[in-house]
Structure 1
Amino acid sequence: MQFAPGAALFFDIDGTLADTDPVHLEAFNRVFEPFGEFFDRPRFIRELQGFANVDIARRLLPQLSPQEGLAVLDHKEAVFRELAHTEIHAVPGLFYLLDLAEAAGLPIAAVTNAPRANADLIIDGLGIRQRFAAIVIGAELPHGKPHPLPYLEGLRLLNAKAELSVAFEDSRTGIASSVAAGLATVGIRTSLEDVDLRAVGADITTASYDEQSLLDFIAARIAMATV
């Protein structure tokens, strides 16, 4: 895999490295049941997937103080981590692409709205921590996704150029963030369909990282001449 100086790959974590959305859905339903809330898959995708916890608390728990709302979401994340210990499975083809990138020396970062403890659990559960040159946590920045700042921070940390880089995302908020930061974006079809991912800005979509059309797309992007 040949690449131009300044090229890099950026991966969201939940639903992109591992198909964790079903585990998050279960955790949300367990924790929000006392508040009279139930989430089926369409509602999960519409109201929860990819959003920062501070935004979820503000929308769904307006009767609570900001601190109380975040405490509920912290509990949800703890339930998620308990469930996820035995439910972390890589998206198909992930290791193939990571192996190609590592062999070529292409830098990789993770960019997520997930809490750091969740990010650590998934990355370590997959055994891929050494693959990442940086891990960007949206909640540790002034703005998380869908704001472009998480990806801009990832570009800064890797000394990468947006026009030479590719982001991998599975949610509407994530795609909005990466596209706003100027990155070509691949939609991962773990939850949303091709039409939904393209509608919010994905350049291409895939269900597996080893599809030849995806590899060709990445190769063309990272070899692009800088302007």
Structure 2
Amino acid sequence: MLMRGVIRKQRALLFDIDGTLADTDALHVQAFNTVFGPRGHVFDRARAARELLGRSNASIGAEFLPDEPPERRAAIMAQKEEVFRRLAAGAVQPLPGLMALLDHAAAASIPVVAVTNAPRANAELILQGLGIADRFRALIIGDELPHGKPHPLPYLEGLRAAQAIADDAVAFEDSRAGIAAATAAGIATMRSNLGHDELIAAGAALTAAAFDEPEVLALVTSRLAS
């Protein structure tokens, strides 16, 4: 039986959380140094961007705590996240232009989904701290899936939650792992606080300092055109 009429395609915006919705990177670096410093690993922001940010806790623990058994690695990473949450509580602010872009999505009935490698407790703290938790149709947690970023699975799950296809979606990221995940899922990806050359090499379609820059809005509009 043929369906009558035209089926409207579903569009979507997918957002990483840390460093994308709010500039939490410095807080993560501080938390890592609190817990990892006594273990011989000290990070500045540049090193953290290269080696830590955007990665799953499992992969970080495997690299920097190789002599610890899995249970101890998990406990150390949990300690780091507890330190981060203490630092972040009441201290997060949206990055420039975010609220305007979310308002645009709401007015156009475009679903938004959060896709992160962060633990659920961290992600929920940030979304609630920004006052935007109710704007997101779904919260996809990489560590709750068989594969986190840089594997495309978290973004494929984000598309499924939004009932969208990659050609009709835009992702916003701030790490190599996240850009790799979104682009491997076939999603046009933009927005980061890494350097322009690094982003383009990782597969980003556009770099920008704010969500409401004309180039960002133009790409979102063209990508999500009805």
TM-score tier after normalising by the smaller chain length: over 0.9
Structure 2 equivalent of residue 29 of structure 1: 33
2:55 to 22, 46, 51: 51
Give how far 1:110 is off.
0.2
Check whether the contact 1:187–1:194 (CA below 8 A) recurs between aligned residues.
no
Check whether the contact 1:109–1:134 (CA below 8 A) recurs between aligned residues.
yes
Secondary structure of the structure 2 residue equivalent to 1:205 = coil
Give how far 1:86 is off.
3.3
Structure 2 equivalent of residue 42 of structure 1: 46
Structure 2 equivalent of residue 209 of structure 1: 211
For normalisation by structure 1, the TM-score amounts to 0.94
Check whether the contact 1:145–1:173 (CA below 8 A) recurs between aligned residues.
yes
Whole-angstrom CA distance in 2 between matches of 1:38 and 1:123: 28
1:127-162 per-residue CA deviation (whole Å, 9 max, x = no partner) reads 001110011000000000000000001111111010
2:113 to 87, 91, 109: 109
1:109-135 per-residue CA deviation (whole Å, 9 max, x = no partner) reads 000000000000000000001110011
1:149 to 148, 153, 156: 153
Identity of aligned residues (%): 54
> 5+ residue gaps in structure 2?
1-7
> 5+ residue gaps in structure 1?
none
Give how far 1:185 is off.
0.3
Check whether the contact 1:23–1:87 (CA below 8 A) recurs between aligned residues.
no
Amino acid corresponding to residue 217 of structure 1 in structure 2: L
Q: Which moved more, 1:204-213 or 1:113-122?
A: 204-213
Structure 2 equivalent of residue 219 of structure 1: 221
Whole-angstrom CA distance in 1 between matches of 2:146 and 2:206: 30
Structure 2 equivalent of residue 181 of structure 1: 185
Structure 1 equivalent of residue 3 of structure 2: none
Amino acid corresponding to residue 34 of structure 1 in structure 2: P
What number of residue pairs does the alignment pair up? 219
Give how far 1:19 is off.
0.4
Task: Indicate yes or no: 2:27 matched with 1:20.
Answer: no
Moved over 2 A (4+): none
Q: Let me know the Cα RMSD of the aligned residues.
A: 1.0
Structure 1 equivalent of residue 71 of structure 2: 67
Check whether the contact 1:107–1:158 (CA below 8 A) recurs between aligned residues.
yes
